[in-house]
Chains A and B, each alone.
Chain A
């Protein structure tokens, strides 16, 4: 008699301690009843049956593998979200680093507080004041990028099965975090003015009617990733009032707020409601993501728990990075640098919109007034995920719309980023994208009338694109 290898799905045996026989079995050694080991199958991961349920989505996928070509110089990648850090004067960064090491070397190299360095938190208040936010240094918690703050907030609030409300579409990196805490994301409709208040009301009422527990609304009000739209000033108090009256916390994620192209974005949601909003900010787009410095501004009770959660996760964010960012903010005209970034991104956005109009007039797209992304909607016959291999052949990359939904939607949309490639590269990329779209339309035309040409809608998530995707 042989025993088959343990081959259950991750999580199925999470709480059972493994017997030695099971361990042998997992390692491909079956044990017969008389105890003699015998060679059997090998699944190449002896711990496969032991993963926590929250690890279920962490898998290699075909789409993620296709993104590997984006790192090749021949490929125009409109897929990633890398800021154009070359627009930053390197000497300013070098001198900030030197000064930090000369004047505060031992502090920079030491563990710091979980809350972050006080001097930097002072600067952060100054940055946030540009968007109408007034707060206390005590309520600012710095983090290893605002992504970590997002993870910590999710850790504090989400029990498995809780509902998180998010825009439709929403940031792929947040969906991944919420999934890892086993939340159910429910999307709320948005239009060119951002989240639709009436849709929010109806969604809440519907969920409450089902007895579901809503933990917070996750929103990117400014220059939305991926949709490129901004929540209008008129809607902001209304959205906050709906959440307040339903006792729903708001998690405001605002990495792009200062990167407007003409009109500044309306004041932050946090500026209107200090008690009902956790605000997430970042230096990744206004300075550089390599420092990995972001922050949360939270009501005091939440802030206390955030600090404890941060210390438990990472002890403290990088002292060196925080001091360099702090030094940069004290000694340079960082507002002028943000202006430079705005100019760079405005030019690239204009190039993209113009090229779309010239080469892909049959599609529709958002025209953002800031940020990094254009959201393109295609005719229903086209499937952005199915089309990706063709794009790879044509040396252009984009992110399929499905990445930005937790419920399988987004097939007929794609996100194009204009932050990293030059205007010339963007124009070339859009030309290539037109070849891809037209080739796919031609193929679909050949098969028109023969039956269903699209994959059935698949529930669930795409895996996130790689974090170093250009």
Chain B
């Protein structure tokens, strides 16, 4: 890269969400990769000094490596836009669409992506309608194993797989400790795959699908952040036609939700080869054990090249805005 393309990048990591620790890991990796690509990088925890700092410093680009409510709920992304500081990744409004799993699922179902049947329940609904009655309806409506999760959030925090319906109340309590709204979803059995979508200016492209095989059978927090506890296949061992279907669905999800630059869309591919949408991640994990870096490597390039390209793409948005 020529020096003229070296940018001043502020990488944001940390915050006060449940995923602070994961975000700090992502941020350091992103910062290292951007330094290796020749950029000047400052790593910051978003705090009360951040907005004045950005207003004074005017960095070329902000790279938010924030997970959970500190980044993915869109507030900070809106503020960055208001400050006129270009940021890698999606806008606040599209982040909010993806951050709410129920909203994302509805939009994708309308767009024709297979989405597992689910019921979205607030704590308020249980209080108002009586927990026993609500649970009875849920049990009757959704057969077989269930997945209970908070309506927002990542890293499998607050997620329970319910095999015995007697465990459903406890799973609801667990999800509600993270969020006031929870999703009860039919569990789809099959192969878990994640598809990273990258757009460096020529339209969104799916990277090789990464297949996830946790030793314990469930891709839990432990299986995500303890190297060795999950085996990844990048590219996936699934049939080419199945991978193509998942990749198409990922790009469709990226477009439908209006995501920008980078996203990761997670699916379960059932035994018939059909990819079922689980969730879309606006600011996907970029840690040592995360899926997007594996997908980038499997695509034959490296994280430095890709993160650098994303930073330049985001920067060019300001340049083009300035030119108008």
Contacts and interface: CB of A to CB of B under 8 A. Distances in A.
A66 B17 CA distance: 9
A402 B157 CA distance: 19
A447 B213 contact: no
Given A61-B222, A75-B16, A449 B132 contact: yes
Given A43-B232, A44-B227, A69-B20, A60 B222 contact: yes
Contacts of A387: 177
A449 B167 CA distance: 13
A450 B16 contact: no
B154 to A, nearest CB: 12
Interface in A1-24: 4-5, 7, 9-10
A63 to B, nearest CB: 10
B36 interface: no
A34 interface: no
Contact of B228 (A44, A386, A452): A44
Contacts of B157: 62, 389
Most A CB contacts (10 A, CB to CB) among B18, B221, B288, B294 go to: B18
A455 interface: yes
A393 B158 CA distance: 13
Interface residues of B, number: 48
Contacts of B226: 59-60
Interface in B212-236: 213, 215, 221-222, 225-234
Interface size class of A (residues with CB under 8 A): 35 or more
A65 interface: yes
A455 B7 CA distance: 50
Interface in B156-181: 157-158, 166-170, 172-174, 176-178
Contacts of B189: none
A65 B225 contact: yes
Interface stretch (B123-131, B196-204, B264-272, B315-323): B123-131
A42 interface: yes
Interface in B107-158: 123, 126-127, 131-132, 135, 155, 157-158
B21 interface: yes
Interface string A318-330: 0000000000000
Interface of A: 4-5, 7, 9-10, 40-45, 48, 59-62, 64-69, 72-75, 386-387, 389-390, 392-393, 395, 440, 443-444, 446-455
Interface of B: 14, 16-22, 24, 45, 47, 123, 126-127, 131-132, 135, 155, 157-158, 166-170, 172-174, 176-178, 213, 215, 221-222, 225-234, 288-289, 294
